[in-house]
Amino acid sequence: MDLIKLRYFYTTAKLENVSLAAKELLISQPALSKAIANLEAELEMDLFFRSGKRISLNENGTFLFKRAERIFSEVHHLERGLEERRGEGSGNLSIVTTLPYTFTNIIDSFFNEYPYVKCRQVPLSKENLQQFTENGKYDVCITTEKMVHPNVEWVPLFEEEIFLTVPKSYKEMKTGTIDLMEFDNLPFIGLTNRYSFRQFTDQFCKSVGYTPIYQVEVEEATTILQLVKNGRGAAFTPETSVNLYDDKIKHLKIENEKFTRTIGLLKHRYLYPTKISEAFVSHCHSYFQDIKKNK
């Protein structure tokens, strides 16, 4: 088996259509069909269920597809490594995360040292996380959810406190703290309950016997603080999202119990790390060390 035949199989399996695969591979459909038939003859097994132009993987094909996906991920990382050697200080960086404020601040300061890097943020969905853990499709994952998986290493970076953010007009205790059980005159603004941060804050509130009443639920985190600034309600805000210089809002320390979460990195154990991805990981460590020093 050679990489060309494997690439033909992989592309066809991914698209589940010989015609579309032939167009993507820039070969004729008969040539592609013959190449796949030759591969099946070489392996002495069928790889697809066939129904006209539509095809789907059988059990043998699924087995081969999963391993081919890993192989081509390795090839991709190898090509990136060689490309990086040709252009010192440049390259591409893909980061899986759903921490908008944290990501923005980290990548902004990273660009000060590596201004020519091209960066892509990837949503932390179940599918993207699986692609990262199984195939190393992306460089690094920034998350607050620890994962135990043989392919990845969890590296804790920073334990951050969660505050209650209120409009400046709210008359809280002079100490700058709040007891949630006494907080009942402002509605809450937050993410919808499909987001892990909302689930995390709901669980905390339940543990201390408090039930927040949400008047506004949104899909975009940046909307939340703007509505708080406008006096529309209160919100839970992670420490790394706190802007101490915004005079329209106040961040109150929650008295009831310790309310923190841990930000960490997931690094793939077995795939080639580029110099840029290694530099970014190092930068993340430095970024959070600076926050700790300034606390």
Residue 104 belongs to domain with CATH number: 3.40.190.10
248 plus 270 within the same structural domain: no
At 190, is the secondary structure helix, strand, or coil?
A: strand
| End position of a domain, from candidates 15, 44, 70 | 70
116 plus 255 within the same structural domain: no
Among 15, 252, 125, smallest CA distance to 32 is for: 15
| End position of a domain, from candidates 13, 46, 70 | 70
* Phi and psi at residue 15, to the nearest 5°: -90, -20
Residue 274: DSSP 8-state: P
195 plus 206 within the same structural domain: yes
How many residues make up the chain in this entry? 295
Residue 118 burial (10 A CB sphere; 0-12, 13-18, 19+): exposed
36 plus 126 within the same structural domain: no
The token pair that represents 282 in the structure block? 């190092």
238 plus 164 within the same structural domain: yes
Domain total in the chain = 3
| End position of a domain, from candidates 35, 70, 105 | 70
199 plus 124 within the same structural domain: no
256 plus 289 within the same structural domain: no
Range of the domain at 34: 3-70
Residue 235 burial (10 A CB sphere; 0-12, 13-18, 19+): buried
23 plus 140 within the same structural domain: no
Distance CA 104, CA 241 (A): 10
61 plus 193 within the same structural domain: no
174 plus 204 within the same structural domain: yes
Strands 152-167 and 260-268: antiparallel
* Phi and psi at residue 201, to the nearest 5°: -70, -35
At 175, is the secondary structure helix, strand, or coil?
A: coil
Element (H, E) at 130: helix 126-135
pLDDT at 125: 86
269 plus 149 within the same structural domain: yes
Strands 116-122 and 140-143: unpaired
Distance CA 189, CA 226 (A): 10
pLDDT at 87: 52
pLDDT at 116: 86
173 plus 151 within the same structural domain: no
Which residues are CB-contacts of 292 (< 8 A; sequence separation ≥ 6)? Answer: 158
Residue 100: DSSP 8-state: H
Over its length of 295 residues, how does the chain's per-residue pLDDT go in tens digits?
Answer: 788 888 889 899 888 888 888 888 889 988 888 988 999 899 999 999 887 767 889 999 899 998 888 888 777 777 766 666 655 556 789 999 988 888 999 999 999 988 988 899 998 888 888 888 887 888 899 999 888 889 899 999 999 999 999 998 887 656 789 999 988 788 999 999 988 899 999 999 999 999 999 999 999 888 998 999 999 999 999 999 887 667 889 999 999 999 999 999 999 887 778 888 889 999 999 999 998 888 7
CATH of the domain at 199: 3.40.190.290
